[in-house]
Structure 1
Amino acid sequence: MTTYIPAITIPSAVFLNPAASILLPIGLGTAVGFGTRPSKTQKTYLALKQPPLHPPPWVFGPVWTVLYGLMGYAAYRATFYGLSPLASPQTIQTTRHSMTVYSIQLGLNLIWMPLFFVAKRPIEATVDIVALLGLNGYLAYLWGSIDSVAGWCQAPYLAWLGFATYLSAGAGYLNDWNLQDKEIDAAEVEKKQQN
Protein backbone atom coordinates (compact mmCIF):
# COMPACT_ATOMS: atom_id res chain seq x y z
CA MET A 1 0.00 0.00 0.00
CA THR A 2 1.37 3.36 -1.02
CA THR A 3 1.35 5.78 1.80
CA TYR A 4 0.46 9.41 2.14
CA ILE A 5 3.22 11.44 0.43
CA PRO A 6 2.66 15.16 1.16
CA ALA A 7 5.27 16.32 -1.38
CA ILE A 8 3.26 14.96 -4.32
CA THR A 9 -0.25 15.21 -2.86
CA ILE A 10 -2.67 18.03 -3.58
CA PRO A 11 -3.19 19.92 -0.28
CA SER A 12 -6.20 18.83 1.77
CA ALA A 13 -7.48 22.45 1.74
CA VAL A 14 -8.18 22.00 -1.99
CA PHE A 15 -9.99 18.70 -1.42
CA LEU A 16 -12.06 20.12 1.43
CA ASN A 17 -13.34 23.05 -0.65
CA PRO A 18 -16.00 21.65 -3.01
CA ALA A 19 -15.54 24.35 -5.65
CA ALA A 20 -11.74 24.06 -5.63
CA SER A 21 -11.88 20.27 -5.67
CA ILE A 22 -14.21 20.26 -8.69
CA LEU A 23 -12.59 23.13 -10.58
CA LEU A 24 -8.98 21.97 -10.17
CA PRO A 25 -9.18 18.93 -12.49
CA ILE A 26 -11.46 20.81 -14.90
CA GLY A 27 -9.03 23.74 -15.04
CA LEU A 28 -5.95 21.54 -15.41
CA GLY A 29 -7.61 19.37 -18.05
CA THR A 30 -8.72 22.45 -19.99
CA ALA A 31 -5.21 23.94 -19.80
CA VAL A 32 -3.66 20.72 -21.13
CA GLY A 33 -6.30 20.51 -23.86
CA PHE A 34 -5.62 24.04 -25.07
CA GLY A 35 -1.89 23.69 -24.48
CA THR A 36 -1.73 20.83 -26.97
CA ARG A 37 -3.26 23.06 -29.67
CA PRO A 38 -6.75 21.63 -30.32
CA SER A 39 -6.72 22.24 -34.09
CA LYS A 40 -3.47 20.30 -34.49
CA THR A 41 -4.69 17.54 -32.17
CA GLN A 42 -7.91 17.26 -34.19
CA LYS A 43 -5.94 17.00 -37.44
CA THR A 44 -3.83 14.21 -35.98
CA TYR A 45 -6.89 12.40 -34.58
CA LEU A 46 -8.67 12.51 -37.95
CA ALA A 47 -5.57 11.30 -39.82
CA LEU A 48 -5.22 8.16 -37.70
CA LYS A 49 -6.58 4.77 -38.59
CA GLN A 50 -9.11 4.28 -35.79
CA PRO A 51 -10.66 1.21 -34.20
CA PRO A 52 -14.41 0.66 -34.61
CA LEU A 53 -16.72 2.80 -32.44
CA HIS A 54 -14.33 5.76 -32.24
CA PRO A 55 -16.24 8.99 -31.49
CA PRO A 56 -15.93 12.26 -33.41
CA PRO A 57 -13.30 14.63 -31.94
CA TRP A 58 -15.86 17.10 -30.54
CA VAL A 59 -17.10 14.46 -28.04
CA PHE A 60 -13.92 14.41 -25.96
CA GLY A 61 -14.06 17.97 -24.54
CA PRO A 62 -17.56 17.74 -23.04
CA VAL A 63 -17.07 14.17 -21.80
CA TRP A 64 -13.78 14.97 -20.07
CA THR A 65 -15.20 18.14 -18.54
CA VAL A 66 -18.04 16.17 -16.95
CA LEU A 67 -15.70 13.40 -15.81
CA TYR A 68 -13.19 15.86 -14.32
CA GLY A 69 -16.00 17.57 -12.43
CA LEU A 70 -17.34 14.25 -11.15
CA MET A 71 -13.85 13.14 -10.14
CA GLY A 72 -13.32 16.42 -8.27
CA TYR A 73 -16.65 16.01 -6.49
CA ALA A 74 -15.74 12.45 -5.49
CA ALA A 75 -12.39 13.68 -4.15
CA TYR A 76 -14.21 16.30 -2.09
CA ARG A 77 -16.70 13.79 -0.64
CA ALA A 78 -14.06 11.19 0.21
CA THR A 79 -11.85 13.79 1.89
CA PHE A 80 -14.70 15.51 3.70
CA TYR A 81 -16.01 12.29 5.22
CA GLY A 82 -12.63 10.61 5.55
CA LEU A 83 -10.96 13.44 7.46
CA SER A 84 -13.99 14.13 9.63
CA PRO A 85 -13.28 14.43 13.37
CA LEU A 86 -15.64 11.45 13.77
CA ALA A 87 -13.62 9.25 11.39
CA SER A 88 -11.56 6.37 12.76
CA PRO A 89 -7.74 6.55 12.57
CA GLN A 90 -7.84 3.81 9.89
CA THR A 91 -10.31 5.84 7.79
CA ILE A 92 -8.15 8.94 8.13
CA GLN A 93 -5.09 6.95 7.03
CA THR A 94 -6.99 5.50 4.06
CA THR A 95 -8.22 8.97 3.12
CA ARG A 96 -4.74 10.49 3.18
CA HIS A 97 -3.47 7.55 1.14
CA SER A 98 -6.30 8.07 -1.37
CA MET A 99 -5.35 11.75 -1.68
CA THR A 100 -1.87 10.70 -2.82
CA VAL A 101 -3.28 8.10 -5.23
CA TYR A 102 -5.69 10.72 -6.62
CA SER A 103 -2.86 13.23 -7.12
CA ILE A 104 -0.75 10.64 -8.96
CA GLN A 105 -3.64 9.55 -11.18
CA LEU A 106 -4.45 13.16 -12.03
CA GLY A 107 -0.85 13.64 -13.15
CA LEU A 108 -1.01 10.48 -15.28
CA ASN A 109 -4.30 11.66 -16.75
CA LEU A 110 -2.88 15.05 -17.68
CA ILE A 111 0.21 13.67 -19.44
CA TRP A 112 -1.67 11.27 -21.72
CA MET A 113 -2.68 13.88 -24.31
CA PRO A 114 0.80 15.41 -24.67
CA LEU A 115 2.30 11.90 -24.89
CA PHE A 116 -0.11 10.76 -27.59
CA PHE A 117 -0.68 13.90 -29.66
CA VAL A 118 2.39 16.10 -29.10
CA ALA A 119 5.21 13.60 -28.56
CA LYS A 120 3.33 11.09 -30.77
CA ARG A 121 4.36 8.23 -28.50
CA PRO A 122 1.40 5.80 -28.60
CA ILE A 123 3.20 3.01 -26.73
CA GLU A 124 4.02 5.26 -23.78
CA ALA A 125 0.54 6.82 -23.91
CA THR A 126 -1.05 3.38 -23.81
CA VAL A 127 1.13 2.29 -20.89
CA ASP A 128 0.12 5.53 -19.16
CA ILE A 129 -3.60 4.95 -19.66
CA VAL A 130 -3.40 1.31 -18.55
CA ALA A 131 -1.68 2.48 -15.33
CA LEU A 132 -4.32 5.20 -15.01
CA LEU A 133 -7.12 2.63 -15.33
CA GLY A 134 -5.57 0.43 -12.65
CA LEU A 135 -4.97 3.33 -10.26
CA ASN A 136 -8.55 4.49 -10.66
CA GLY A 137 -9.93 1.04 -9.99
CA TYR A 138 -7.92 1.08 -6.77
CA LEU A 139 -9.04 4.65 -6.02
CA ALA A 140 -12.71 3.70 -6.49
CA TYR A 141 -12.15 0.88 -3.99
CA LEU A 142 -10.48 3.22 -1.48
CA TRP A 143 -13.12 5.93 -1.84
CA GLY A 144 -15.92 3.37 -1.69
CA SER A 145 -14.61 2.26 1.71
CA ILE A 146 -14.80 5.87 2.92
CA ASP A 147 -18.00 7.08 1.21
CA SER A 148 -20.06 4.93 -1.17
CA VAL A 149 -21.14 7.95 -3.25
CA ALA A 150 -17.48 8.92 -3.84
CA GLY A 151 -16.70 5.36 -4.87
CA TRP A 152 -19.63 5.20 -7.29
CA CYS A 153 -18.71 8.60 -8.76
CA GLN A 154 -15.65 6.84 -10.18
CA ALA A 155 -17.76 4.35 -12.18
CA PRO A 156 -18.33 6.62 -15.24
CA TYR A 157 -14.65 7.61 -15.19
CA LEU A 158 -13.58 3.96 -15.07
CA ALA A 159 -15.93 3.09 -17.92
CA TRP A 160 -14.60 5.95 -20.06
CA LEU A 161 -10.99 5.06 -19.19
CA GLY A 162 -11.67 1.50 -20.34
CA PHE A 163 -13.03 2.84 -23.63
CA ALA A 164 -10.15 5.33 -23.95
CA THR A 165 -7.66 2.50 -23.36
CA TYR A 166 -9.27 0.60 -26.22
CA LEU A 167 -9.05 3.70 -28.45
CA SER A 168 -5.43 4.42 -27.50
CA ALA A 169 -4.23 0.85 -27.98
CA GLY A 170 -6.37 0.39 -31.09
CA ALA A 171 -5.10 3.55 -32.78
CA GLY A 172 -1.54 2.67 -31.84
CA TYR A 173 -1.85 -0.84 -33.22
CA LEU A 174 -3.66 0.18 -36.42
CA ASN A 175 -1.00 2.83 -37.11
CA ASP A 176 1.91 0.44 -36.41
CA TRP A 177 2.66 2.32 -33.17
CA ASN A 178 4.01 5.21 -35.25
CA LEU A 179 2.15 8.52 -35.27
CA GLN A 180 4.88 10.61 -36.87
CA ASP A 181 3.63 12.58 -39.87
CA LYS A 182 0.01 11.79 -38.99
CA GLU A 183 -1.82 15.00 -39.72
CA ILE A 184 -4.26 16.11 -42.40
CA ASP A 185 -4.93 19.53 -43.86
CA ALA A 186 -7.93 21.75 -43.10
CA ALA A 187 -9.91 20.66 -46.19
CA GLU A 188 -9.61 17.01 -45.21
CA VAL A 189 -10.66 17.85 -41.63
CA GLU A 190 -13.85 19.48 -42.92
CA LYS A 191 -14.54 16.55 -45.25
CA LYS A 192 -14.09 13.97 -42.47
CA GLN A 193 -16.31 15.96 -40.10
CA GLN A 194 -19.13 15.96 -42.64
CA ASN A 195 -19.03 12.15 -42.91
Structure 2
Amino acid sequence: MTTYIPQLTLPQTIFNNPALSILLPIALGTGVGYYTRPSQTKDTYRRIKNPPLYPPPSVFGPVWTVLYGLMGYAAYRAVHHGTSPLSAPSTIRDAKSGATLYTVQLGLNLLWMPLFFGLNRPIAATADLVALLGLNGYLAYLWGGVDSVAGWCLVPYLGWLGFATYLSAGAAYLNDGDLRQRKEGKDL
Protein backbone atom coordinates (compact mmCIF):
# COMPACT_ATOMS: atom_id res chain seq x y z
CA MET A 1 0.00 0.00 0.00
CA THR A 2 1.20 3.48 -0.81
CA THR A 3 0.35 6.92 0.41
CA TYR A 4 -0.49 10.10 -1.40
CA ILE A 5 2.18 12.69 -0.59
CA PRO A 6 1.26 16.06 -2.14
CA GLN A 7 4.82 17.42 -1.80
CA LEU A 8 6.15 14.52 -3.93
CA THR A 9 3.35 14.57 -6.48
CA LEU A 10 2.93 16.52 -9.69
CA PRO A 11 0.10 19.08 -9.47
CA GLN A 12 -3.43 17.84 -10.17
CA THR A 13 -3.72 20.35 -13.04
CA ILE A 14 -1.13 18.35 -14.99
CA PHE A 15 -3.06 15.11 -14.53
CA ASN A 16 -6.34 16.76 -15.51
CA ASN A 17 -4.99 17.96 -18.86
CA PRO A 18 -4.29 15.14 -21.34
CA ALA A 19 -1.86 17.23 -23.41
CA LEU A 20 0.16 18.26 -20.34
CA SER A 21 0.14 14.71 -18.97
CA ILE A 22 1.47 13.33 -22.24
CA LEU A 23 3.89 16.11 -23.16
CA LEU A 24 5.49 16.59 -19.73
CA PRO A 25 7.34 13.23 -19.60
CA ILE A 26 8.27 13.55 -23.29
CA ALA A 27 9.69 17.05 -22.71
CA LEU A 28 11.54 16.02 -19.55
CA GLY A 29 12.96 12.91 -21.20
CA THR A 30 14.07 14.93 -24.21
CA GLY A 31 15.65 17.52 -21.93
CA VAL A 32 17.63 14.91 -20.02
CA GLY A 33 18.66 13.32 -23.33
CA TYR A 34 20.07 16.60 -24.59
CA TYR A 35 21.60 17.44 -21.23
CA THR A 36 23.67 14.24 -21.37
CA ARG A 37 25.00 15.25 -24.82
CA PRO A 38 23.60 12.87 -27.46
CA SER A 39 26.80 12.63 -29.51
CA GLN A 40 28.85 11.62 -26.46
CA THR A 41 26.13 9.20 -25.38
CA LYS A 42 26.15 7.50 -28.79
CA ASP A 43 29.96 7.34 -28.76
CA THR A 44 29.95 5.75 -25.31
CA TYR A 45 27.25 3.28 -26.36
CA ARG A 46 29.27 2.23 -29.41
CA ARG A 47 32.55 2.03 -27.48
CA ILE A 48 31.46 -0.07 -24.50
CA LYS A 49 30.93 -3.81 -24.50
CA ASN A 50 27.20 -4.54 -24.76
CA PRO A 51 25.31 -7.80 -24.20
CA PRO A 52 23.78 -9.71 -27.10
CA LEU A 53 20.58 -8.29 -28.66
CA TYR A 54 21.49 -4.67 -27.97
CA PRO A 55 19.71 -2.34 -30.41
CA PRO A 56 21.32 0.44 -32.44
CA PRO A 57 21.39 3.86 -30.73
CA SER A 58 18.80 5.24 -33.17
CA VAL A 59 16.11 3.01 -31.61
CA PHE A 60 16.13 4.63 -28.18
CA GLY A 61 14.75 8.08 -29.02
CA PRO A 62 11.61 6.89 -30.81
CA VAL A 63 10.95 4.08 -28.33
CA TRP A 64 11.25 6.38 -25.32
CA THR A 65 9.07 9.03 -26.96
CA VAL A 66 6.27 6.49 -27.39
CA LEU A 67 6.76 5.09 -23.88
CA TYR A 68 6.77 8.53 -22.28
CA GLY A 69 3.60 9.37 -24.18
CA LEU A 70 1.92 6.15 -23.03
CA MET A 71 2.93 6.70 -19.42
CA GLY A 72 1.65 10.27 -19.57
CA TYR A 73 -1.66 9.11 -21.03
CA ALA A 74 -1.91 6.44 -18.32
CA ALA A 75 -1.34 9.13 -15.69
CA TYR A 76 -4.07 11.30 -17.19
CA ARG A 77 -6.56 8.43 -17.37
CA ALA A 78 -5.93 7.09 -13.88
CA VAL A 79 -5.76 10.34 -11.95
CA HIS A 80 -8.30 12.40 -13.88
CA HIS A 81 -10.93 9.67 -13.99
CA GLY A 82 -9.98 8.11 -10.67
CA THR A 83 -10.37 11.31 -8.68
CA SER A 84 -13.78 12.15 -10.10
CA PRO A 85 -16.30 13.14 -7.40
CA LEU A 86 -18.36 10.14 -8.53
CA SER A 87 -15.52 7.69 -7.82
CA ALA A 88 -15.50 5.43 -4.78
CA PRO A 89 -13.24 6.57 -1.91
CA SER A 90 -10.93 3.57 -2.47
CA THR A 91 -10.59 4.46 -6.17
CA ILE A 92 -9.74 8.07 -5.31
CA ARG A 93 -7.16 6.85 -2.77
CA ASP A 94 -5.55 4.50 -5.32
CA ALA A 95 -5.52 7.17 -8.03
CA LYS A 96 -3.87 9.72 -5.73
CA SER A 97 -1.39 7.21 -4.28
CA GLY A 98 -0.54 6.20 -7.83
CA ALA A 99 0.06 9.86 -8.71
CA THR A 100 2.75 10.00 -6.01
CA LEU A 101 4.30 6.74 -7.24
CA TYR A 102 4.17 8.01 -10.81
CA THR A 103 6.00 11.21 -9.89
CA VAL A 104 8.69 9.28 -8.00
CA GLN A 105 9.14 6.80 -10.84
CA LEU A 106 9.38 9.64 -13.36
CA GLY A 107 12.23 11.10 -11.30
CA LEU A 108 13.98 7.72 -11.16
CA ASN A 109 13.46 7.29 -14.88
CA LEU A 110 15.06 10.65 -15.61
CA LEU A 111 17.98 9.77 -13.33
CA TRP A 112 19.02 6.69 -15.31
CA MET A 113 20.71 8.43 -18.24
CA PRO A 114 22.91 10.70 -16.09
CA LEU A 115 23.87 7.70 -13.95
CA PHE A 116 24.75 5.47 -16.90
CA PHE A 117 26.22 7.93 -19.40
CA GLY A 118 27.05 11.02 -17.33
CA LEU A 119 28.64 9.37 -14.31
CA ASN A 120 29.54 6.12 -16.12
CA ARG A 121 28.03 4.06 -13.31
CA PRO A 122 26.15 1.14 -14.87
CA ILE A 123 25.70 -0.68 -11.55
CA ALA A 124 23.92 2.31 -9.99
CA ALA A 125 21.93 2.74 -13.23
CA THR A 126 20.91 -0.93 -13.09
CA ALA A 127 19.78 -0.55 -9.46
CA ASP A 128 17.71 2.44 -10.60
CA LEU A 129 16.08 0.26 -13.28
CA VAL A 130 15.31 -2.51 -10.81
CA ALA A 131 13.58 0.06 -8.58
CA LEU A 132 11.70 1.35 -11.63
CA LEU A 133 10.53 -2.14 -12.51
CA GLY A 134 9.17 -2.72 -9.02
CA LEU A 135 7.49 0.68 -8.77
CA ASN A 136 5.94 0.44 -12.22
CA GLY A 137 4.78 -3.13 -11.74
CA TYR A 138 2.91 -1.99 -8.67
CA LEU A 139 1.73 1.20 -10.40
CA ALA A 140 0.31 -0.80 -13.33
CA TYR A 141 -1.52 -3.02 -10.85
CA LEU A 142 -2.79 -0.06 -8.80
CA TRP A 143 -3.86 2.09 -11.74
CA GLY A 144 -5.20 -0.95 -13.59
CA GLY A 145 -7.75 -1.19 -10.77
CA VAL A 146 -8.66 2.48 -11.21
CA ASP A 147 -8.81 2.41 -15.03
CA SER A 148 -7.96 -0.68 -17.07
CA VAL A 149 -6.69 1.41 -20.03
CA ALA A 150 -4.22 3.16 -17.71
CA GLY A 151 -2.94 -0.17 -16.44
CA TRP A 152 -2.50 -1.57 -19.95
CA CYS A 153 -0.74 1.60 -21.13
CA LEU A 154 2.05 0.81 -18.66
CA VAL A 155 2.63 -2.75 -19.94
CA PRO A 156 4.93 -1.76 -22.87
CA TYR A 157 6.89 0.43 -20.45
CA LEU A 158 7.34 -2.53 -18.10
CA GLY A 159 8.52 -4.69 -21.00
CA TRP A 160 11.05 -2.09 -22.09
CA LEU A 161 12.23 -1.57 -18.50
CA GLY A 162 12.88 -5.31 -18.28
CA PHE A 163 14.90 -5.18 -21.51
CA ALA A 164 16.72 -2.03 -20.37
CA THR A 165 17.61 -3.76 -17.10
CA TYR A 166 19.13 -6.64 -19.07
CA LEU A 167 21.12 -4.20 -21.23
CA SER A 168 22.30 -2.12 -18.27
CA ALA A 169 23.25 -5.13 -16.14
CA GLY A 170 24.98 -6.72 -19.13
CA ALA A 171 26.98 -3.57 -19.81
CA ALA A 172 27.88 -3.32 -16.12
CA TYR A 173 29.13 -6.91 -16.11
CA LEU A 174 30.97 -6.75 -19.43
CA ASN A 175 32.67 -3.44 -18.57
CA ASP A 176 33.58 -4.31 -14.97
CA GLY A 177 31.12 -1.76 -13.59
CA ASP A 178 32.91 1.25 -15.08
CA LEU A 179 32.20 2.85 -18.46
CA ARG A 180 34.99 5.40 -18.36
CA GLN A 181 37.28 5.09 -21.36
CA ARG A 182 40.66 3.72 -20.42
CA LYS A 183 43.91 4.40 -22.19
CA GLU A 184 47.02 2.38 -21.44
CA GLY A 185 45.51 1.13 -18.20
CA LYS A 186 44.73 4.59 -16.84
CA ASP A 187 41.44 6.44 -16.50
CA LEU A 188 41.04 9.48 -18.70
TM-score range, shorter chain: over 0.9
Q: How many aligned positions are there?
A: 183
How far does residue 2 in structure 1 lie from its aligned partner after superposition?
Answer: 2.5
The one-letter code matched in structure 2 to 1:88 is A
Q: Given that residues 47 and 182 in structure 1 are in contact (C-alpha distance below 8 angstroms), is that contact kept between their aligned partners in structure 2?
A: no
Structure 2, unpaired ranges of 5+: 184-188
Name the CA distance, whole Å, in 1 between partners of 2:8 and 2:144: 23
**Superposed structure 1 runs of 4+ greater than 4 Å apart:** none
| Counterpart secondary structure, 2:154 | helix
Name the CA distance, whole Å, in 1 between partners of 2:46 and 2:85: 52
2:25 is the counterpart of 1:15: no
How far does residue 39 in structure 1 lie from its aligned partner after superposition?
Answer: 0.2
- TM-score w.r.t. structure 1 length? 0.92
Q: For residues 49-103 of structure 1, what are the alpha-carbon distances to aligned partners after superposition, in whole Å with 9 as ceiling and x for unaligned? A: 1101000001000000000001000100001210111101111111110000000
Percent identical among aligned pairs is: 69
How far does residue 182 in structure 1 lie from its aligned partner after superposition?
Answer: 6.4
Partner of 1:48 in structure 2?
Answer: 48
Partner of 1:77 in structure 2?
Answer: 77
The one-letter code matched in structure 2 to 1:36 is T
Name the CA distance, whole Å, in 1 between partners of 2:144 and 2:36: 34
Q: For residues 111-162 of structure 1, what are the alpha-carbon distances to aligned partners after superposition, in whole Å with 9 as ceiling and x for unaligned? A: 0000000001111101000000110000000110000010000110000000
2:96 is the counterpart of 1:96: yes
Name the CA distance, whole Å, in 1 between partners of 2:109 and 2:161: 10
Partner of 2:113 in structure 1?
Answer: 113
| Cα RMSD (Å) | 1.1
Structure 1, unpaired ranges of 5+: 184-195
- TM-score w.r.t. structure 2 length? 0.95
Name the CA distance, whole Å, in 2 between partners of 1:58 and 1:156: 19
